[in-house]
Structure 1
Amino acid sequence: MPIKIPESVLVVIHTPALEVLLIERADKPGFWQSVTGSLDAPDEPLLATAARELFEETGIVADGERIALRDWHLSNVYEIYPVWRHRYAPGVTHNTEHVFSVCVPRDTPIVLSEREHLRYEWLPHVEAADRCFSSSNAEAILQLPRRLPRRVDAAD
C-alpha cells in the first residue's frame, strides 16, 4: 500500500431536508462517517479529490450541475488515530482535512465500495452528527444548516 499524503477531504452528503448519508467503515465496524479520503498526489486539486472519493465510496457522480460539490473553504488539522498512522510516512502524526458538502436527492442510488464500507444509513443531521466517530465530521454535519445557500422565496 502506498504511503498516504496527510492531506484529505471530508464530503458531507445530504438531502435538501438535511438528511445525512453516513457510511460504516469495513476496517472498523461501528465507526460511522461521511466520505473521506486523501489526495492521490500532492498536486491533486482538492475538488478533484472530493469528486473522486465521492464516486469511489458511494458511486455518486458530481456532475457540477445537478450534483455539485460545495467547497466550504474550511480546513481542520487533527491528530491521526494511532491505529491508522502506519499508512503515513514515519513521524507523520497530523492530517489537514478540507471540508466539502454535496446535496443529492434522497432517492440517489448508493453503491458502496465493499472494500471500504459495510453499509450506509440516511439520518437527520443531528442524529448523524451524534453517530460519527470523528469530531470534525460531527462538527461539519452540525454546521450544515448555516452552510447551505439561503433560499429566496417568491414573496421576498
Structure 2
Amino acid sequence: MSDLESIVDRFEIEALRGEFTDAAMMYDYDRLASLFTQNGVLRFLGANIEQVGREQIRTGSKQLQGQWDYFVQNTHPGTIQLLGDTAIGRAYMSELIRLRDGKSYLNYAVYHDRYQRTEEGWKFAERAYEVRYLDTTPLAGSAPHTAEAEAQTQ
C-alpha cells in the first residue's frame, strides 16, 4: 500500500466516524445503520447490549434515542491501524445526555472499532462502546426547546 493510499484510507475512516456522530446527533437511524456492514455489530459494553445487522442497529438506535430529551456527542480522533481491506481503531467520545425522565449523564468513552472496506467504501464491521467516565449529576443546562417549555410553565 502506498503512502497516498494509506492517507486516503485514514481520511475515509475518520470521515466514517464523523458521519456516525452526525447521524446519531440528527436522529438519522437509516443513515446510522448504513454505516455498518450488512452483518455489522454495535455493542454497548457494560450494558449487555448487542445489535447485529443493520436492521437491529436501526431499530435499537431509534429505541435508545427515543428516551432522550437531548443528546450531544463529540468524537475525538483516536487510532487507526490499516490491515489491507480491514482496519482496527479507537475513537474517543464525550457526551451529554438528558433522558425524558430527567436523568442526566456526562460520559467520556471509547469506541473500539473494526472497519471493513466494501464496494460502498469503508464501513464499521464492529463498534464496541466502553464508558471510561460517568457523571450522573444533573446537568445545569438544557436544550433550547426544553428551556422554552420550562419558561412557559412558570
TM-score by length of 2: 0.28
**Structure of greater Rg:** 2
Q: Larger helix proportion, structure 1 or 2?
A: 2
TM-score by length of 1: 0.28
